[in-house]
Structure formats: structure tokens, C-alpha cells
């Protein structure tokens, strides 16, 4: 049987229409969009302009040149944070939360080494930002708030419009990482008062290696890359035209599919959550019960090693968390930050649903989980004790299970 892909937070397959749109720009329309003295350059330039418009439309930007192309959301996040801070006074500060993607957290660490300040706002047990604490963290040195729209591991959606309102009230810039939210939520930078927004094509059925940063008109960023002054002087380098064209096509499809695909995925998500909770005991849903991405389910299955369960769940492609951190054997920092104990964090699996997934897949997955969790728990003396009602909270995973 073919593998059933359920790791759509990590990446998505390129939509066939997207691929078809890209292909001519590798060898037929191969021009440099900056060379506008001939038709080759003009063709590439027009294609890039069209892609900008498609992405601007998806996120509700008023002008297409507010879309800056990058190599992906990681670069976009770096450019947003460093670009704002380095344009500000020495000792400037920014506010974020500890469950952000590593592309934000590691950028913050790098900025701290350079003498800038970072304040981490409190979150609740579902991962939502504490808005009272956020406002209290603001100091005269604060110039930027950066909080993601939705978390890639637990799917929790943040109250972005409320965060933006606080930012505006204190005359601060607001950046949000929308890599996971794009194509799954109705994004509108104008309506929600967002100044900077990061996107990634490969999270929405576009190609890898291309992303964008929405930069509201009038905001200037210190560039990470210097050169020929491309992208309004904020990101030099010849554009990856096939990638940009593919990104535009993916954005167009995402915008059209939003009204049908989100309810479909939400129904699959709810079916999976109910199936797991009805068939298995000692399971915990991580993240917000309702304010979560339509395609995200994250469960801890107590008394089962997450990695063992993933391997046992043939024919499904699953992961235990963010693809960018899956090389480390430590339990998820996101789960740790929302208060999930290590013993449960090691037992967690993230299910990332997508266009290719069907109700039959969900039925099969529920059956597979029931069978494999039960089988693996038979090897756990702690499970037997828990079933008998013995308090086992004092027991933690020992390190030998790796």
C-alpha cells in the first residue's frame, strides 16, 4: 500500500497546476526580470509582477509592491526582526512568545548577543498569548511585537487583531509569521493592522526555496543582503523567477480553495480527535480545543514512546513535531512551554492533514492508532498501574527509552 502523507505542516506536495505554471520559466521564459531592455526580461518581469499581485490579494495587501520575495519564511522572519531592530536605536527591544518557530527564537538569540533586548510574553496552557502581560511587557525601548498567527506543532491560533491593536495603541510595529496559517485562515493585513507578515510557498502547495515578506508601505528595513538594490532595496539578488511564479499560482489556488478546503479539513480534524478520544484512554489533545488550524491535531498518548508509535503506524507519514527540530531527541520545546510534562511530551504525535487526505484515511488512521497504541502499551508496566488507579505521577520516563 502507498504511504499516506499526513505531515502537511512540514511541507506540501507541489500542486500540478503550480508545476505547470513554473515549467516555461526554466528554459523558455528564462530572462532576468531586471533586464528590461528586451522581451526576455520583460516577460520575466511581467510574470513576477503578476505573482506579486496574486500574493498581495491572498493576504489583503493594498499594493503589490508591498510583497518582497525571499528564499522562504526563515529569511522573511530574519529580515523582519533584524530589519526593524537594526533600523532602530541601539538597545531597542522586541516582544515575542516562547512557542514561536525556531526561525524567530534563534533570530531573537542572535539579536540579544548584539545587545538588543527580547521580552517573552506569557502564554496560557493552550499556547495563547496573555494580552494583559503583553501590554505590561512594553517599555519605551520596545519597537516591535512579533507573534505568529498559528503554531506549527499544536495549531493554536493567536488573537492577531487584538495583538495588533495593542501594538498600534503604543505606536509599535507588529510582525507575524503566517507560514502555517497561509491558505488555512482568512488573512488580511489591512483589516488586522499587520505591518509585516512572513510567508512560505512550500507550506501551501508551492515550491520550496521561495517565500515572501509583506512590508507595509512606508516601513524601511535594514537589509540582510546587500547588492543590486532589488525588492525596494531591502533584499538584493536576482529573483528565483520559476519559484516566484509558482508561489503566485499557489497563492491564487489557496485563495480560491479557502471556502471549501477549510471546512473539509475541519471536519476531518474533528473526526480524528473524536475517534482517538472515544477509542483510547490516557490521551491528551495539545493546543487549543477549537481555535486551532483546520488541519492540525496534536495528541499525547501516555505510556507510548512517540517515535515508536510513528514507526508502528504504517502506512502513514507522521511526525512528532516541527520538521526543523526533529533531528533532536529532546521533547518538543513548544509542549514544554505550555506545561506538558516531559513524560507526555515524549508521547506526542502531530497529524498534519492536507488536500490528499480523505475520510477513509481518517478511519484507517483511527483503527491503526487504536491497535498500535494498545500493542505498545502492553509492554508498559506503568500503564497497568494507571489502569488500576495507582498514582503514577511520580514516575517519569527514564533516559534508556532512546
d(CA 257, CA 58): 11
Dihedral, CA of residue 103, residue 105, residue 109 and residue 110, to nearest 10: 20
- 324 counts as catalytic: yes
d(CA 378, CA 375): 5
Q: Is residue 250 a contact partner of residue 205, using CB atoms and an 8 Å limit?
A: yes
Q: Which of 108, 313, 324, 347 is catalytic?
A: 324
Q: Write b or e for each residue in 307-329: b if 16 or more Cβ atoms lie within 10 A of its Cβ, otherwise e.
A: bebbebbeebebbbbbeebeeee
| DSSP assignments along 264-287, one per residue | HHHHHHHHHHHHHHHH-SSEEE-S
Q: Is residue 279 a contact partner of residue 366, using CB atoms and an 8 Å limit?
A: yes
Dihedral, CA of residue 68, residue 71, residue 73 and residue 79, to nearest 10: -60
Cα torsion angle, 101, 104, 109, 112, sign: negative
d(CA 143, CA 147): 14
d(CA 345, CA 376): 17
Active site positions, annotated: 324
Amino acid at each position: 500500500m502507498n504511504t499516506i502523507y499526513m505531515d502537511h505542516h512540514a511541507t506540501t506536495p507541489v500542486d500540478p497546476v503550480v508545476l505547470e505554471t513554473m515549467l516555461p520559466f526554466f528554459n523558455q521564459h528564462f530572462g532576468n526580470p531586471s533586464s528590461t531592455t528586451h522581451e526576455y526580461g520583460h516577460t520575466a518581469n511581467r510574470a513576477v509582477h503578476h505573482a506579486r499581485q496574486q500574493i498581495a490579494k491572498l493576504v489583503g495587501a493594498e499594493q503589490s509592491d508591498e510583497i518582497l520575495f525571499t528564499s522562504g519564511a526563515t529569511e522573511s522572519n530574519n529580515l523582519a526582526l533584524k530589519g526593524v531592530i537594526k533600523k532602530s536605536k541601539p538597545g531597542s527591544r522586541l516582544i515575542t512568545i516562547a512557542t514561536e518557530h525556531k526561525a524567530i527564537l534563534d533570530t531573537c538569540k542572535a539579536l540579544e548577543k548584539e545587545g538588543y533586548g527580547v521580552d517573552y510574553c506569557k502564554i496560557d496552557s493552550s499556547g495563547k498569548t496573555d494580552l494583559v502581560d503583553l501590554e505590561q511587557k512594553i517599555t519605551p525601548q520596545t519597537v516591535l511585537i512579533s507573534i505568529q498567527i498559528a503554531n506549527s506543532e499544536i495549531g493554536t491560533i493567536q488573537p492577531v487583531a487584538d495583538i495588533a491593536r495593542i501594538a498600534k495603541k503604543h505606536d509599535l510595529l507588529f510582525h507575524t509569521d503566517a507560514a502555517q496559517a497561509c491558505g488555512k485562515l482568512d488573512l488580511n493585513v489591512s483589516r488586522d493592522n499587520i505591518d509585516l507578515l512572513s510567508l512560505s510557498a512550500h507550506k501551501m502547495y508551492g515550491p520550496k526555496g521561495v517565500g515572501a515578506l509583506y512590508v507595509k508601505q512606508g516601513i524601511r528595513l535594514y537589509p540582510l543582503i546587500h547588492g543590486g538594490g532589488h525588492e525596494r532595496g531591502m533584499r538584493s539578488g536576482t529573483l528565483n523567477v520559476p519559484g516566484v511564479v509558482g508561489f503566485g499560482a499557489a497563492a491564487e489556488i489557496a485563495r480560491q480553495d479557502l471556502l471549501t478546503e477549510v471546512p473539509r479539513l475541519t471536519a476531518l480534524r474533528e473526526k480524528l480527535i473524536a475517534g482517538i478520544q472515544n477509542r483510547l484512554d490516557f490521551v491528551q489533545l495539545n493546543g487549543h480545543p477549537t481555535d486551532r488550524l483546520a488541519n492540525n491535531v496534536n495528541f499525547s498518548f501516555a505510556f507510548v514512546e512517540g517515535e515508536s508509535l510513528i514507526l508502528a503506524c504504517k502506512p502513514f507519514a507522521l511526525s512528532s513535531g516541527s520538521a526543523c527540530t526533529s533531528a533532536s531527541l529532546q521533547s518538543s520545546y513548544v509542549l514544554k512551554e505550555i506545561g506538558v510534562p516531559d513524560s507526555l511530551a515524549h508521547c506526542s504525535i502531530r497529524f498534519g492533514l492536507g488536500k490528499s487526505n480523505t475520510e477513509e484515511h481518517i478511519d484507517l488512521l483511527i483503527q491503526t492508532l487504536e491497535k498500535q497504541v494498545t500493542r505498545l502499551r502492553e509492554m508498559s508496566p506503568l500503564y497497568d498501574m494507571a489502569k488500576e488507579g495507582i498514582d503514577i505521577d511520580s514516575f517519569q520516563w527514564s533516559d534508556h527509552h532512546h
